[in-house]
Structure 1
Amino acid sequence: MPAKSTHISELALELGLAMSEMKSRLRQKIQSKINEYDSDLSFELIEILGLLSRNNGINQQEIGTQVSKDKSSITYLINNLVKRELVERIENENDRRNKQIFLTSKGQQTIEAIYPLALELYEKAAGDLHKDEINKALILVRKMTANLE
Protein backbone atom coordinates (compact mmCIF):
# COMPACT_ATOMS: atom_id res chain seq x y z
CA MET A 1 0.00 0.00 0.00
CA PRO A 2 1.54 3.39 -0.99
CA ALA A 3 2.38 5.87 1.76
CA LYS A 4 -0.20 8.60 2.19
CA SER A 5 1.14 11.78 0.63
CA THR A 6 1.14 14.75 2.94
CA HIS A 7 -0.18 18.01 1.55
CA ILE A 8 2.16 21.01 1.82
CA SER A 9 -0.31 22.84 4.06
CA GLU A 10 -0.26 19.93 6.53
CA LEU A 11 3.55 19.96 6.56
CA ALA A 12 3.55 23.73 7.12
CA LEU A 13 1.09 23.21 9.99
CA GLU A 14 3.34 20.55 11.56
CA LEU A 15 6.35 22.86 11.24
CA GLY A 16 4.43 25.70 12.91
CA LEU A 17 3.35 23.44 15.76
CA ALA A 18 6.88 22.11 16.25
CA MET A 19 8.31 25.66 16.33
CA SER A 20 5.65 26.72 18.81
CA GLU A 21 6.44 23.75 21.07
CA MET A 22 10.17 24.49 20.92
CA LYS A 23 9.58 28.16 21.77
CA SER A 24 7.34 27.19 24.67
CA ARG A 25 9.89 24.75 26.12
CA LEU A 26 12.75 27.22 25.69
CA ARG A 27 10.67 29.94 27.30
CA GLN A 28 9.93 27.73 30.34
CA LYS A 29 13.58 26.79 30.75
CA ILE A 30 14.79 30.37 30.29
CA GLN A 31 12.21 31.58 32.84
CA SER A 32 13.57 29.01 35.28
CA LYS A 33 17.11 30.42 34.77
CA ILE A 34 15.77 33.98 35.14
CA ASN A 35 14.11 33.02 38.43
CA GLU A 36 17.48 31.83 39.76
CA TYR A 37 18.85 35.31 39.02
CA ASP A 38 15.82 37.43 40.02
CA SER A 39 12.40 35.94 40.67
CA ASP A 40 10.71 39.30 39.95
CA LEU A 41 11.79 39.34 36.30
CA SER A 42 9.70 37.76 33.57
CA PHE A 43 10.66 36.28 30.23
CA GLU A 44 8.95 39.23 28.48
CA LEU A 45 11.02 41.78 30.40
CA ILE A 46 14.25 39.94 29.62
CA GLU A 47 13.19 39.61 25.98
CA ILE A 48 12.93 43.41 25.76
CA LEU A 49 16.26 43.93 27.55
CA GLY A 50 17.90 41.48 25.14
CA LEU A 51 16.41 43.31 22.16
CA LEU A 52 17.69 46.63 23.51
CA SER A 53 21.16 45.17 24.07
CA ARG A 54 21.25 44.54 20.31
CA ASN A 55 19.31 47.67 19.22
CA ASN A 56 19.62 50.26 21.99
CA GLY A 57 17.56 53.40 21.45
CA ILE A 58 14.70 52.01 19.38
CA ASN A 59 11.19 53.24 20.11
CA GLN A 60 8.28 51.40 21.74
CA GLN A 61 6.58 50.66 18.43
CA GLU A 62 9.71 48.97 17.08
CA ILE A 63 10.03 46.97 20.29
CA GLY A 64 6.40 45.85 20.01
CA THR A 65 6.92 44.74 16.43
CA GLN A 66 10.10 42.81 17.27
CA VAL A 67 8.61 40.97 20.25
CA SER A 68 5.10 40.62 18.76
CA LYS A 69 3.26 42.53 21.49
CA ASP A 70 0.54 45.13 21.14
CA LYS A 71 0.98 48.79 22.09
CA SER A 72 -0.67 48.57 25.53
CA SER A 73 1.32 45.47 26.51
CA ILE A 74 4.60 47.12 25.47
CA THR A 75 3.73 50.29 27.39
CA TYR A 76 3.04 48.22 30.51
CA LEU A 77 6.27 46.21 30.14
CA ILE A 78 8.42 49.28 29.50
CA ASN A 79 6.83 51.14 32.43
CA ASN A 80 7.76 48.12 34.54
CA LEU A 81 11.37 48.23 33.28
CA VAL A 82 11.58 52.00 33.91
CA LYS A 83 10.27 51.52 37.47
CA ARG A 84 13.01 48.90 38.05
CA GLU A 85 15.59 51.34 36.61
CA LEU A 86 16.56 48.85 33.88
CA VAL A 87 15.65 51.17 30.98
CA GLU A 88 14.97 54.85 30.44
CA ARG A 89 12.82 56.76 27.97
CA ILE A 90 14.52 59.65 26.19
CA GLU A 91 12.74 62.07 23.88
CA ASN A 92 13.83 61.97 20.27
CA GLU A 93 15.53 65.26 19.36
CA ASN A 94 13.59 65.52 16.08
CA ASP A 95 10.17 64.40 17.38
CA ARG A 96 9.47 64.96 21.08
CA ARG A 97 6.41 62.65 20.93
CA ASN A 98 8.68 59.79 19.90
CA LYS A 99 10.52 58.40 22.90
CA GLN A 100 13.51 56.14 22.45
CA ILE A 101 14.19 53.36 24.95
CA PHE A 102 17.71 52.86 26.29
CA LEU A 103 19.23 50.33 28.65
CA THR A 104 20.54 51.75 31.91
CA SER A 105 23.79 50.40 33.35
CA LYS A 106 21.66 48.26 35.70
CA GLY A 107 19.74 46.92 32.68
CA GLN A 108 22.99 46.18 30.88
CA GLN A 109 24.32 44.28 33.92
CA THR A 110 21.09 42.28 34.13
CA ILE A 111 21.19 41.20 30.50
CA GLU A 112 24.91 40.41 30.73
CA ALA A 113 24.15 38.06 33.62
CA ILE A 114 21.14 36.32 32.03
CA TYR A 115 22.04 36.25 28.32
CA PRO A 116 24.78 33.59 28.68
CA LEU A 117 22.31 31.36 30.56
CA ALA A 118 19.80 31.66 27.70
CA LEU A 119 22.51 30.99 25.11
CA GLU A 120 23.42 27.76 26.92
CA LEU A 121 19.83 26.59 26.48
CA TYR A 122 19.82 27.47 22.79
CA GLU A 123 23.10 25.59 22.41
CA LYS A 124 21.51 22.58 24.12
CA ALA A 125 18.51 22.85 21.77
CA ALA A 126 20.85 22.94 18.75
CA GLY A 127 22.45 19.71 19.99
CA ASP A 128 24.56 18.11 17.27
CA LEU A 129 23.02 20.13 14.43
CA HIS A 130 25.45 21.73 12.00
CA LYS A 131 25.42 25.50 11.40
CA ASP A 132 24.33 24.89 7.79
CA GLU A 133 21.24 23.00 8.96
CA ILE A 134 20.23 25.83 11.26
CA ASN A 135 20.90 28.43 8.54
CA LYS A 136 18.70 26.50 6.08
CA ALA A 137 15.93 26.26 8.66
CA LEU A 138 16.23 29.98 9.38
CA ILE A 139 15.95 30.82 5.68
CA LEU A 140 12.94 28.52 5.39
CA VAL A 141 11.10 30.06 8.34
CA ARG A 142 11.85 33.62 7.19
CA LYS A 143 10.57 32.77 3.69
CA MET A 144 7.36 31.32 5.10
CA THR A 145 6.91 34.38 7.33
CA ALA A 146 7.45 36.70 4.37
CA ASN A 147 4.79 34.78 2.43
CA LEU A 148 2.28 35.92 5.05
CA GLU A 149 3.03 39.63 4.51
Structure 2
Amino acid sequence: MQPSDRENAIKFLRQMSIVTQTLKGFMRQKFKAHNINITFEMLQVLRFLWEKESGNQQEIADAIIKDKASLTYLIDNLVGRNLVQRTEDSQDRRNKLITLTPAGKDLSAMIQPWLEEMYQMVALSGTSEELQSSLDVFKNIQENVKQQIA
Protein backbone atom coordinates (compact mmCIF):
# COMPACT_ATOMS: atom_id res chain seq x y z
CA MET A 1 0.00 0.00 0.00
CA GLN A 2 1.29 3.40 -0.95
CA PRO A 3 1.52 6.04 1.82
CA SER A 4 -0.98 8.18 -0.09
CA ASP A 5 -3.44 5.24 -0.25
CA ARG A 6 -3.13 4.77 3.50
CA GLU A 7 -3.62 8.48 4.12
CA ASN A 8 -6.67 8.58 1.83
CA ALA A 9 -8.15 5.55 3.60
CA ILE A 10 -7.71 7.28 6.96
CA LYS A 11 -9.26 10.52 5.64
CA PHE A 12 -12.13 8.57 4.06
CA LEU A 13 -12.98 6.72 7.28
CA ARG A 14 -12.72 9.90 9.33
CA GLN A 15 -15.01 11.74 6.93
CA MET A 16 -17.48 8.86 7.02
CA SER A 17 -17.61 9.18 10.83
CA ILE A 18 -18.04 12.95 10.60
CA VAL A 19 -20.95 12.59 8.17
CA THR A 20 -22.64 10.05 10.46
CA GLN A 21 -22.23 12.32 13.49
CA THR A 22 -23.46 15.34 11.52
CA LEU A 23 -26.63 13.54 10.43
CA LYS A 24 -27.26 12.36 13.99
CA GLY A 25 -26.74 15.94 15.17
CA PHE A 26 -29.27 17.20 12.63
CA MET A 27 -31.91 14.87 14.06
CA ARG A 28 -30.93 15.60 17.69
CA GLN A 29 -31.40 19.30 16.95
CA LYS A 30 -34.92 18.63 15.61
CA PHE A 31 -35.77 16.49 18.65
CA LYS A 32 -34.54 19.16 21.06
CA ALA A 33 -36.37 22.00 19.29
CA HIS A 34 -39.65 20.05 19.54
CA ASN A 35 -39.11 18.55 23.02
CA ILE A 36 -39.01 14.98 21.76
CA ASN A 37 -37.18 12.83 24.28
CA ILE A 38 -35.63 10.15 22.08
CA THR A 39 -32.17 9.37 20.77
CA PHE A 40 -31.08 8.70 17.21
CA GLU A 41 -30.77 5.01 18.10
CA MET A 42 -34.35 4.95 19.38
CA LEU A 43 -35.37 6.59 16.11
CA GLN A 44 -33.85 3.65 14.24
CA VAL A 45 -36.16 1.26 16.11
CA LEU A 46 -39.17 3.50 15.49
CA ARG A 47 -38.35 3.80 11.77
CA PHE A 48 -38.24 0.01 11.48
CA LEU A 49 -41.64 -0.25 13.16
CA TRP A 50 -43.15 2.58 11.09
CA GLU A 51 -42.27 0.57 8.00
CA LYS A 52 -42.96 -2.99 9.23
CA GLU A 53 -45.66 -2.48 11.91
CA SER A 54 -44.04 -5.05 14.23
CA GLY A 55 -41.01 -7.25 14.63
CA ASN A 56 -39.26 -9.47 17.11
CA GLN A 57 -36.08 -8.26 18.77
CA GLN A 58 -33.79 -10.25 16.48
CA GLU A 59 -35.40 -8.87 13.32
CA ILE A 60 -35.10 -5.33 14.62
CA ALA A 61 -31.52 -5.88 15.81
CA ASP A 62 -30.51 -7.22 12.39
CA ALA A 63 -32.24 -4.36 10.55
CA ILE A 64 -30.65 -1.57 12.59
CA ILE A 65 -27.32 -3.35 13.09
CA LYS A 66 -27.40 -3.54 16.88
CA ASP A 67 -26.76 -6.46 19.19
CA LYS A 68 -29.74 -7.83 21.13
CA ALA A 69 -28.46 -6.49 24.47
CA SER A 70 -28.26 -2.93 23.12
CA LEU A 71 -31.66 -3.33 21.52
CA THR A 72 -33.20 -4.52 24.80
CA TYR A 73 -32.03 -1.29 26.43
CA LEU A 74 -33.46 0.80 23.55
CA ILE A 75 -36.79 -1.02 23.66
CA ASP A 76 -36.99 -0.66 27.45
CA ASN A 77 -36.55 3.09 27.03
CA LEU A 78 -39.14 3.26 24.25
CA VAL A 79 -41.60 1.26 26.39
CA GLY A 80 -40.95 3.69 29.24
CA ARG A 81 -41.79 6.58 26.89
CA ASN A 82 -45.00 4.78 25.84
CA LEU A 83 -43.88 4.62 22.19
CA VAL A 84 -43.68 0.82 21.80
CA GLN A 85 -45.02 -2.23 23.58
CA ARG A 86 -44.00 -5.86 23.92
CA THR A 87 -46.59 -8.53 23.19
CA GLU A 88 -46.40 -12.30 23.04
CA ASP A 89 -45.82 -13.80 19.62
CA SER A 90 -48.80 -16.09 18.97
CA GLN A 91 -46.55 -18.45 16.99
CA ASP A 92 -43.69 -18.61 19.51
CA ARG A 93 -44.42 -17.71 23.14
CA ARG A 94 -40.70 -17.35 23.90
CA ASN A 95 -40.59 -14.48 21.43
CA LYS A 96 -41.88 -10.99 22.10
CA LEU A 97 -43.24 -8.86 19.29
CA ILE A 98 -42.43 -5.18 19.44
CA THR A 99 -45.23 -2.96 18.19
CA LEU A 100 -45.95 0.74 18.18
CA THR A 101 -48.35 2.32 20.63
CA PRO A 102 -50.71 5.02 19.34
CA ALA A 103 -48.21 7.62 20.59
CA GLY A 104 -45.43 5.87 18.66
CA LYS A 105 -47.55 5.92 15.51
CA ASP A 106 -48.41 9.59 16.01
CA LEU A 107 -44.75 10.51 16.35
CA SER A 108 -44.19 9.36 12.77
CA ALA A 109 -46.20 12.29 11.37
CA MET A 110 -43.86 14.75 13.07
CA ILE A 111 -40.54 13.01 12.42
CA GLN A 112 -41.00 11.70 8.86
CA PRO A 113 -40.69 15.18 7.29
CA TRP A 114 -37.38 15.68 9.11
CA LEU A 115 -36.12 12.37 7.79
CA GLU A 116 -37.17 13.37 4.28
CA GLU A 117 -35.33 16.68 4.74
CA MET A 118 -32.21 14.78 5.79
CA TYR A 119 -32.48 12.41 2.81
CA GLN A 120 -32.92 15.40 0.51
CA MET A 121 -29.74 17.01 1.85
CA VAL A 122 -27.86 13.79 1.17
CA ALA A 123 -29.37 13.46 -2.32
CA LEU A 124 -28.33 17.03 -3.18
CA SER A 125 -24.73 16.19 -2.29
CA GLY A 126 -24.07 14.48 -5.62
CA THR A 127 -25.61 13.09 -8.74
CA SER A 128 -27.42 9.76 -8.68
CA GLU A 129 -24.38 8.22 -10.33
CA GLU A 130 -22.01 9.66 -7.73
CA LEU A 131 -24.19 8.45 -4.88
CA GLN A 132 -24.40 4.99 -6.47
CA SER A 133 -20.63 4.95 -6.92
CA SER A 134 -20.18 5.90 -3.25
CA LEU A 135 -22.59 3.16 -2.24
CA ASP A 136 -20.56 0.69 -4.28
CA VAL A 137 -17.40 1.80 -2.46
CA PHE A 138 -19.08 1.23 0.92
CA LYS A 139 -20.24 -2.23 -0.17
CA ASN A 140 -16.71 -3.08 -1.36
CA ILE A 141 -15.23 -1.96 1.95
CA GLN A 142 -17.75 -4.12 3.79
CA GLU A 143 -16.96 -7.16 1.65
CA ASN A 144 -13.18 -6.69 1.99
CA VAL A 145 -13.45 -6.46 5.78
CA LYS A 146 -15.85 -9.43 5.99
CA GLN A 147 -13.38 -11.57 4.00
CA GLN A 148 -10.56 -10.65 6.39
CA ILE A 149 -12.51 -11.54 9.52
CA ALA A 150 -14.08 -14.73 8.16
TM over 0.5: yes
Asked if the contact 1:34/1:43 (under 8 Å) is kept, the reply is: no
Deviation by residue 1:78-122 (Cα, 9 ceiling, x = unmatched): 012122221122222221111121222321211221121132133
Supply the AA of the counterpart residue of 1:31. Answer: R
Q: Partner residue of 1:91?
A: 88
Q: Determine which structure has the larger strand proportion and give its number.
A: 2
Q: Partner residue of 1:66?
A: 63
Q: Determine which structure has the larger helix proportion and give its number.
A: 2
- Matched residue of 2:85: which SS? strand
Percent of aligned pairs with the same residue?
33
Q: Partner residue of 2:49?
A: 52
- How much does 1:136 deviate? 2.0
Supply the AA of the counterpart residue of 1:72. Answer: A
Q: TM-score, normalised by structure 2?
A: 0.81
Distance 1:10 1:92 in 2: 50
- Matched residue of 1:101: which SS? strand
- How much does 1:5 deviate? 6.4
Q: Partner residue of 1:37?
A: 34
Unpaired runs of 5+ residues, structure 1, are none
Q: Aligned pair in 2 of structure 1 residues 72, 128: CA closer, same or farther (>3 Å)?
A: closer
1:1-149 correspondence runs (5 A)? 6-7=4-5, 9-149=6-146
Unpaired runs of 5+ residues, structure 2, are none
4+ runs of 1 displaced by more than 3 Å? 9-13
